[in-house]
Every structure is written in C-alpha cells, then in structure tokens.
Chain A
C-alpha cells in the first residue's frame, strides 16, 4: 500500500458504502414484492384484493388499479413500485381499510420487545456455554475426562438446540411451565412481563444453539493463537484468557451474523406470536396471509427490510469497536 486515505475520507467512503448497501436492500425488496405479485398469475389486481373470487367492488378495483398503476406498461409499474417503497407509500389494507403503515408500525413495538429480549437471552446462553467450554478445556490432570465430558455435553446441547422448531419448543414449554407447573401464562399480552417469559425462551434457545456453535468455533480457533498462549504464559487463568482475549476474537464473526439472526428471529416471531396469541408483526403477517390481504404482507416486508438496513449499520459500528483492524486499515484480516 503506497498511500493511505485520511480518516475523514475513509469515514466518508464507509458511509457511502453503507448507503449503497441500504439502497440495494430496498431495491431487492421492492423487486421481490413486484415479482411476487406477478407470480400470482392472472390479473394482479385480483391478487391485491384477496385472490380469485374476490368480493371487491368495482370502486375498490378501480382504486387498486390506480394505486398500483396497473394500467401502465410493466416497466412503469415497476418504477412506480420502487418509488412507493422509497417514499413508504404502502397503500391501504384490503381487509381492514386502514393504512398499511399504521398497522405495521403499531405491530412493530411488541415484536421488537420480544426479539430484543430473545436476542439478549440467546447471547447470554451462548456466552455461558462458550465460557464453560473454555474452562473445561483448560482442565488437566485427573479431571481431564470430566472436562472432555463437559465439552461434549455443551456441543450436543448446542446442536440439539439449534434444530428445535419454535412451534414444538413452544408447545413443550407450555405443557411444562403453563399447564404442568403453572409458573407462567400460556398466552402473552404485551405489557405483561410474566407473559413474555415463555415466548422469549422459545425464541432464544434455538438462537443460542446457533450463536453458541459459532462462538465456540471462534474461541477454539483463538485459543491456539499466539496472543492466547502469551496470556496463559503470563499466568492468566482460563476465565481471564476467555474474557479478555479469545472471546473478543470469537465475537467478531458472530456479531457479523446479526443480520441473519434478525431474519431467524422474525421467522420465529411469526410462529411464536401465533402460538402464544401475542399481537405483533408476525401475527399481523399470518392473519393477513390467511385473509390474502396482500398490501399488508408487502408493506410488512418493506418495513422488515428497512429495520434490517438499520440493524446492518449498528452491526458495522459494533464490529468496528470489537475489531480495531476493521476500522483502521482495509487490509485482509
């Protein structure tokens, strides 16, 4: 490398790159929505208004035609679609006759509360498992078999947790803790903290399985690096090596996966909110799909994509904090 761009130019480049990526996400989302509506076959206006045999009156049909520009040539319809997504003009719900944006925004809060609490619990469980493994690996002498057994148990738990379907895990938790022990309610209303427990655990356990596997891999890799050996040679115990050295190294790829974790949580929220009768984005999506209220489904998808963009920005910032190399040079890691 001969010239190094100054810090301000670098920051500018990063912002530009982020904005480019955000626009790309919006474009891909708008295109997917546009294509999906055409994939329905037949007249798209029918798909918007509840499928074939829709009971929509001629006024509704005319309104939908105008709103989606269905009289225009296809390429103009496409541009119109992009424009509407960019300006957050999501139209009206066919079944509820209210603006889609209002419906989606009011459903966003309860889902965000659920997703954030599940993300926190998932990370805590994954961190606990990674710490346990790093401690068990450091055990030597006569206790070494115990250490190996602990590692095997944690690994097994993580694989099992990551394949547990939300609908089954939720049903088992309800059977155990709502019907059997009566500790928590089987239904969840926003604002009730006790009602948030079972949905959160249902979402968090599979997530913890995935995050834990990734963290574990990263910690294992970091433990053989020179910096970990140096720390151990200086007399640092397993917990210190873990908390100060290897975890930070392992957390980088795991944090980078937050975008994927977000998708996983939203998919899970669709199931969990239905199972626990909790209002939210997932329930809104399922109800609208059942009613074939296509504008709501499309609008919710656009909003989910925008939240994803926001999350990517935050993730980038956290990655920069965790990994100084990412912020200072563009060199290969």
Chain B
C-alpha cells in the first residue's frame, strides 16, 4: 500500500538517494581512483571513455572528484539544515504555543525574513564573519530558518488548537507535557518531509556560496569549490562546471521528489 503511494518517481528518487549514501559511505566502490591524483598529460579532457565527466586543468578525473565530494557536500547540507531547523523549532514552537501577541509578532517577522533573498542574508553573515566553509554553512542554516519556521508555526498552531490538545489541557496537563506528548509527535512527520526537501536546498545554497568563492575553496573536492574552480574555464571547458553542477542538481531533485512523495504518504 505504502509502496504504491510512493510512486515511480518516488522510488527513482529513493534509488538516487541510496546511491548518494553509497558515495558518502564508500566512494571507492563507485570511483576507485584518487580524487587528487594529477596527470598533466591528460589535462582538460572533455568527457569520454576513461573520463566520463572529463578532467580538470591538472588532469584530475572529474567523476572521481564528484563522487568523493559527496561526503563533504551532503555533510554540509545536513549540518546547515540542522541549524536551520533547530532555530525554526524554537521560533515555531514559541509562535505556535505562546500567547497570541507573541505568535503574531514572530509570524510577521518570520514572514518578512522568508521573503528576504536567502542568498543575500547568507552573504551578510559571510561578509561579517569572513568567507570559508564553516561560515557559509552557518550562514545557510540561519538564512533558511525562516522558511522552516513558517511551516512549523502553521503546523504547531493547527495541532495546538486541535481537540486532543484542548482535552489534555482541560485534564490539567502542563504546557511541557502538552508539548512533548502531543504537539511534538504530531509535528514530527511534516518535519521529516521538510528536512528531506531542505537538505537538497541547503546543498544548493552552500554550493552556491562555494561557486561565488565564499565557501570551501579549491582544491577541496567539494562540489561548490569545484564549481568555483571551473568558473574561469566556463567557455573553454564547460564540463568542469556541468559535472559537479549535475551532482548538485540530481541530489536536489531526488531529495525534493522523495520529500514530496513522503508528504503524500503522511499518516495525517
């Protein structure tokens, strides 16, 4: 039953995610070479036999670097999402369970920050803290928090006014008990969906900062850093940009499709 609900696209997305996890856990299975092995005699080869995604200016195999870069790229996506969701949980719960005025104030502020360009918010934080992978991950986490807070507040609000929470309050359950026994469990499933969607987006944002030269820096085998290194070769060696970008796009697409499929299977 559940299996059919996931749909063909959902299953395909799940397969891609499993493949990505394999690249994270055991990159050598998919690409046995050394991602940093240079070979100046084979520099800037277009995609072809032996080098499915081509080689870069130092003759390093792009496919190997993309596979080995999955660990750090997905890792930063996960960390950024965790930061964003953690901030959003505090805001969303405060807005959803707190007094009405607090809820209104938080909702308005979150609404404004949500409309604010994510990348620009992230740039502000990187500007004051200085470029680097850690700063860009933190920046993406903070900049994506309003989006999560928006969804969580609506969900918490819905659960908070539901019959079972009212019943618990009338029975004399304190707010902590209502929060942990009733509100959180019923907010968690949508959270799973949101996080699945969010990791894909966070990977894109962190890679975007890397592309701009504000995140991980070359020669790291990280997707954003690879994009940044490929930028100067865009018109002469397009595969340096297209290869790592494809990995990011496929990751984001798979996580989005999977997240939506999970949303449809949702028990509520």
Residues of A within 8 A of B (CB): 24-25, 28-29, 32-33, 36-37, 39-40, 47, 51-52, 156, 159-160, 162-168, 171-172, 174-175, 178-179, 186, 259-260, 262-264, 266-267, 270-271, 274-275, 285-286, 288-290, 292-294, 297-298, 300-301, 304-305, 308
- Choice from A171, A267, A305 contacting B118 with Cβ under 8 Å: A267
* B128 touches A (CB below 8 Å): yes
Q: Which residues of B contact A274 (CB under 8 A)?
A: 211-212, 231
CB within 8 Å for A163 and B214 given contacts A37-B128, A171-B238: no
* B184 touches A (CB below 8 Å): no
CB within 8 Å for A175 and B242 given contacts A51-B130, A165-B252, A260-B115: yes
* B127 touches A (CB below 8 Å): yes
CB within 8 Å for A36 and B115 given contacts A165-B249, A167-B207: no
A168 and B246 contacting across the interface, CB-CB below 8 Å: yes
CB within 8 Å for A163 and B200 given contacts A36-B125, A270-B120, A274-B212: yes
- Choice from A40, A163, A179, A275 contacting B231 with Cβ under 8 Å: A275
Q: Which residue of A lies closest to B114 (CB)?
A: A260
* B129 touches A (CB below 8 Å): yes
B245 and A171 contacting across the interface, CB-CB below 8 Å: yes
- Choice from B117, B131, B207 contacting A290 with Cβ under 8 Å: B131
B127 and A294 contacting across the interface, CB-CB below 8 Å: yes
- Choice from B116, B124, B249 contacting A263 with Cβ under 8 Å: B116
Q: Which residues of A contact B9 (CB under 8 A)?
A: 156
Q: Which residues of B contact A301 (CB under 8 A)?
A: 120, 124
Q: Which residues of B contact A308 (CB under 8 A)?
A: 115-116
A275 and B234 contacting across the interface, CB-CB below 8 Å: yes
Tell me which of B124, B129, B207, B214 has the highest count of chain A C-beta atoms within 10 A of its own C-beta. Answer: B124
5 new A-B contacts at CB < 8 Å, known A168-B245, A171-B242, A289-B131? A28-B112, A163-B252, A165-B245, A167-B211, A290-B213
* B1 touches A (CB below 8 Å): no
- Choice from B117, B125, B234, B248 contacting A304 with Cβ under 8 Å: B117
B123 and A39 contacting across the interface, CB-CB below 8 Å: no
* B44 touches A (CB below 8 Å): no
A39 and B117 contacting across the interface, CB-CB below 8 Å: no
When chains A and B are docked, how far (Å) is the Cα of A185 from the Cα of B112? 37
A263 and B118 contacting across the interface, CB-CB below 8 Å: yes
Q: Which residue of A lies closest to B252 (CB)?
A: A163
* B208 touches A (CB below 8 Å): yes
Offer 10 A-B interface pairs, CB within 8 angstroms, sorted by A: A28-B112, A37-B128, A40-B129, A163-B204, A178-B235, A186-B234, A186-B235, A275-B231, A286-B123, A289-B212
When chains A and B are docked, how far (Å) is the Cα of A274 from the Cα of B214? 12
Q: Which residues of A contact B253 (CB under 8 A)?
A: 159-160, 163
Q: Which residues of A contact B214 (CB under 8 A)?
A: 286, 289-290
* B227 touches A (CB below 8 Å): yes
CB distance from B4 to the nearest CB of A (A): 17
Q: Which residues of A contact B117 (CB under 8 A)?
A: 262-264, 266-267, 270, 304
When chains A and B are docked, how far (Å) is the Cα of A276 from the Cα of B192? 37
CB distance from B183 to the nearest CB of A (A): 26
- Choice from B114, B127, B235 contacting A179 with Cβ under 8 Å: B235
CB interface residues, B 228-244, toward A, < 8 Å:
230-231, 234-235, 238, 241-242
When chains A and B are docked, how far (Å) is the Cα of A25 from the Cα of B123? 19
Tell me which of B117, B123, B213, B260 has the highest count of chain A C-beta atoms within 10 A of its own C-beta. Answer: B117
Tier of interface size on chain B? 35 or more
CB within 8 Å for A165 and B207 given contacts A179-B238, A289-B123, A289-B131: yes
When chains A and B are docked, how far (Å) is the Cα of A301 from the Cα of B115? 13
When chains A and B are docked, how far (Å) is the Cα of A271 from the Cα of B118? 12
When chains A and B are docked, how far (Å) is the Cα of A275 from the Cα of B211? 9
A288 and B127 contacting across the interface, CB-CB below 8 Å: yes
* B93 touches A (CB below 8 Å): no
* B113 touches A (CB below 8 Å): yes
When chains A and B are docked, how far (Å) is the Cα of A206 from the Cα of B212? 19
A289 and B126 contacting across the interface, CB-CB below 8 Å: yes
When chains A and B are docked, how far (Å) is the Cα of A47 from the Cα of B128? 6
- Choice from B112, B126, B131 contacting A25 with Cβ under 8 Å: B112
Q: Which residues of A contact B246 (CB under 8 A)?
A: 168
CB within 8 Å for A267 and B128 given contacts A167-B207, A171-B234, A174-B235: no
CB distance from A37 to the nearest CB of B (A): 6
Q: Which residues of A contact B200 (CB under 8 A)?
A: 163
CB distance from B70 to the nearest CB of A (A): 16
A259 and B208 contacting across the interface, CB-CB below 8 Å: no
When chains A and B are docked, how far (Å) is the Cα of A240 from the Cα of B260? 32
When chains A and B are docked, how far (Å) is the Cα of A220 from the Cα of B116? 29
When chains A and B are docked, how far (Å) is the Cα of A37 from the Cα of B208? 23
B128 and A165 contacting across the interface, CB-CB below 8 Å: no
Q: Which residues of B contact A36 (CB under 8 A)?
A: 124-125, 128
* B256 touches A (CB below 8 Å): yes
CB distance from B69 to the nearest CB of A (A): 15
B238 and A168 contacting across the interface, CB-CB below 8 Å: no
CB interface residues, B 161-218, toward A, < 8 Å:
200, 204, 207-208, 211-214
A24 and B108 contacting across the interface, CB-CB below 8 Å: yes
Q: Which residues of B contact A294 (CB under 8 A)?
A: 127-128
